[in-house]
């Protein structure tokens, strides 16, 4: 069974991919397309957040970095007339640059304080963007009229427009799959081992020559790029971005998705996002109590299911494997 593992995983991944391509096209309901787009954006954010958490540094900077990406891209397209395709990578780079500037002096600080600093940073970025450079960022009302991406035209061959939500969904889907692929490859590589070693026993890692700062910063900056991209995708979807979009509540929500999903594998946060955002619909009927319920879910998971949904699943699969595996024949009963 073990040797069949990777093939099973590829089949599962391919099926999910095919489903995510087909289902929105079949449903064609703007309500659901909206939900799917947000699920994807949150997947980008939570999987990149996981990268940093897995070097042992919990960070609350992600909302700020996403805001930077979104505002950067919004301002470039609205004020300076850049196209989406130019603004997107710049947004990612801007977020990466800020990550570098913030991360360099602070990542050497112990975990809890680092989290506190990033928490403060996220709070302040929102305030800054709301109060300053109002002609550019639009103040508290936000930056409006952010355009959808220009069509991709290959003369004589094809033209892809992104004006409809559904077409935008496919763009976001493509970028999300890219994000997952990059993060997966990073994790499987030596870099991933170094990150895990740092999280596991940083003292030991140092003693064999691993420069902690360098790798923590690397993870932080890579995650920052994706946060910026997510922010940009958000801004061009909503066509508006306000200081309230990436506030503390957003950060708390992101953590809830990541914790509930679990961080042991890259599938964890994906599960968390999908589970909770689909669950959010029956929860919505509780109105104002929805956030309270989510708060309880967070605490309950931290207390009783710290491995998250993916941890639960791994335990179930492990349990099933031992139960169903016939030791004599080596096959399944």
Partner 1 sequence: MQAEMEILKLSKAFGGLMAISEFDLSVSHGELLGLIGPNGAGKTTFFNVVSGVYRPTKGRIICRGKDITGLGPDKIAAQGIVRTFQQTLIFSNHTVLQNVLVATHLQSKLVFWPALFNTSHYQERERKTSLRALELLDFVGLVHVKQELANNLPHGYQRVLGVAIALAANPFILLLDEPMTGMNQEETEAMMDLVKKINQSGTTVLIVEHNMKAVMSICSRVVVLNFGQKVAEGSPEEISKNEAVIQAYLGT
Partner 2 sequence: MDFAIFLQATIDALMISMSYILVALGLTLMFGILRVFNFAHGEVYMIGGFVAYYFYGQFNMNYFITLVLSLLIGGILGLIFERLIFRPFRERPFNGFIASLGLIWILQTIAATSFGVLDKSVPAVFPGVIRALGVSLSAERLGALTIGLFMGLAMYLLIQRTRTGKALRAVAQDREAASLQGVNVNRMTAFAFALGSSLAAAVGAFMSSIYLVNPFIGHMPVVKAFIVIILGGMGSLPGAVLGGIILGFIEGFTAIYFNIGTVSTINFVVVIFILLVRPKGLLGREE
Q: Using CB under 8 A as the criterion, which residues of the chain lie in contact with partner 1 when the complex forms?
A: 182, 185-186, 188-191, 193-194, 196-197, 200-201, 203-212
Q: Please name which of 102, 79, 66 lies closest in space to residue 228, comparing C-alpha atoms.
A: 66
Scanning 114-122, 185-193, 197-205, 270-278 for contacts with partner 2 by CB under 8 A, the matching segment is: 114-122
Q: Which does 159 bind (CB under 5 to 8 A by kind): partner 2, partner 1, none?
A: none
Are the CB atoms for 246 and 66 separated by under 8 Å? yes
Tell me, by CB under 8 A, how many residues bind partner 2.
41
Positive or negative, the CA dihedral 217, 219, 223, 225 is: positive
Q: Which does 289 bind (CB under 5 to 8 A by kind): partner 1, partner 2, none?
A: partner 2
Are the CB atoms for 66 and 230 separated by under 8 Å? yes
Distance in angstroms (rounded) separating the CA atoms of residues 81 and 144: 14
264-303 residues in contact with partner 2 (CB under 8 A) are: 288-289, 291-292, 294-299, 302-303
Q: Which does 124 bind (CB under 5 to 8 A by kind): partner 1, partner 2, none?
A: partner 2
Q: Which does 191 bind (CB under 5 to 8 A by kind): partner 2, partner 1, none?
A: partner 1
Q: Taking CB under 8 A as the rule, does residue 246 contact partner 2?
A: no
Q: Which is nearer to partner 2, 32 or 275 (CB)?
A: 275
Q: Within 10 Å of residue 200's Cβ, how many Cβ atoms?
A: 11
Q: Taking CB under 8 A as the rule, does residue 127 contact partner 2?
A: yes
Q: Which is nearer to partner 2, 132 or 193 (CB)?
A: 132
Q: Please name which of 224, 225, 222, 200 lies closest in space to residue 210, comparing C-alpha atoms.
A: 200
Distance in angstroms (rounded) separating the CA atoms of residues 256 and 72: 27
* Residues 164, 140, 91: CA angle, nearest 5 degrees: 55
Q: Taking CB under 8 A as the rule, does residue 14 contact partner 2?
A: no
DSSP labels, 85-143:
HHHHHHHHHHHHHHHHHHHHHHTTS-HHHHHHHHHHHHHHHHHHHHHS-HHHH-GGG-B
Q: Within 10 Å of residue 10's Cβ, how many Cβ atoms?
A: 10
| Pairing of the two strands 152-154 and 158-160 | antiparallel
Are the CB atoms for 63 and 247 separated by under 8 Å? yes
Q: Which does 210 bind (CB under 5 to 8 A by kind): partner 1, partner 2, none?
A: partner 1
Q: Taking CB under 8 A as the rule, does residue 58 contact partner 2?
A: yes
Q: Which does 175 bind (CB under 5 to 8 A by kind): partner 2, partner 1, none?
A: none
* Of positions 83, 131, 164, 200, contacts partner 2 by CB under 8 A: 131
Q: Taking CB under 8 A as the rule, does residue 200 contact partner 2?
A: no
* Of positions 46, 59, 73, 106, contacts partner 2 by CB under 8 A: 106
Q: Which is nearer to partner 2, 1 or 292 (CB)?
A: 292
Q: Which is nearer to partner 1, 200 or 249 (CB)?
A: 200
Query: At its nearest, how many Å lie between partner 1 and the CB of residue 24?
Result: 29
DSSP labels, 10-62:
HHHHHHHHHHHHHHHHHH--HHHHHHHHHHHHHHHHHHHHHHHHTTT-----H
The residues of the shown chain that bind partner 2, judged by CB under 8 A, are: 58, 102, 105-106, 108-113, 115-117, 119-121, 123-124, 127-128, 131-132, 248-249, 252, 255-256, 259, 288-289, 291-292, 294-299, 302-303, 306
């Amino acid at each position: 069974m073990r040797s069949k593992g990777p093939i099973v995983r590829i089949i599962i991944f391919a099926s999910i991919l095919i489903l995510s391509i087909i289902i929105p096209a079949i449903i064609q309901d703007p309500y659901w397309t909206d939900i799917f787009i947000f699920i994807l954006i949150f997947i980008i954010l939570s999987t990149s957040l996981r990268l940093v958490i897995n070097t042992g540094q919990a960070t609350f900077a992600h909302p700020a970095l996403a805001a930077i990406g979104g505002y950067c891209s919004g301002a470039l397209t609205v004020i300076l007339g850049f196209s989406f395709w130019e603004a997107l990578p710049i947004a990612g780079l801007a977020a990466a640059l800020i990550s570098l500037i913030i991360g360099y002096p602070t990542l050497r600080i112990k975990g809890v304080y680092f989290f506190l600093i990033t928490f403060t940073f996220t709070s302040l970025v929102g305030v800054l963007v709301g109060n300053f450079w109002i002609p550019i960022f639009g103040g508290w009302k936000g930056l409006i009229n952010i355009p959808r991406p220009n069509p991709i035209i290959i003369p004589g061959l094809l033209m892809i427009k992104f004006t409809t939500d559904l077409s935008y969904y496919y763009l976001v889907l493509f970028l999300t799959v890219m994000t997952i692929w990059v993060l997966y490859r990073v994790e499987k590589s030596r870099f991933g081992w170094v990150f895990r070693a740092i999280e596991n026993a940083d003292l030991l890692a140092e003693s064999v020559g691993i420069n902690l700062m360098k790798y923590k910063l690397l993870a932080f900056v890579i995650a920052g790029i994706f946060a910026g991209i997510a922010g940009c995708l958000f801004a061009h979807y909503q066509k508006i971005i306000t200081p309230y979009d990436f506030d503390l509540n957003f950060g708390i929500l992101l953590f809830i998705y990541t914790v509930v999903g679990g961080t042991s594998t890259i599938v964890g946060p994906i599960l968390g996002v999908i589970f909770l955002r689909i669950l959010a619909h029956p929860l919505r009927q509780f109105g104002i109590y929805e956030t309270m319920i989510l708060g309880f879910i967070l605490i309950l998971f931290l207390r009783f299911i710290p491995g998250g949904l993916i941890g639960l699943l791994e335990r179930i699969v492990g349990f099933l494997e031992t139960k169903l595996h016939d030791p004599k024949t080596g096959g399944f009963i």
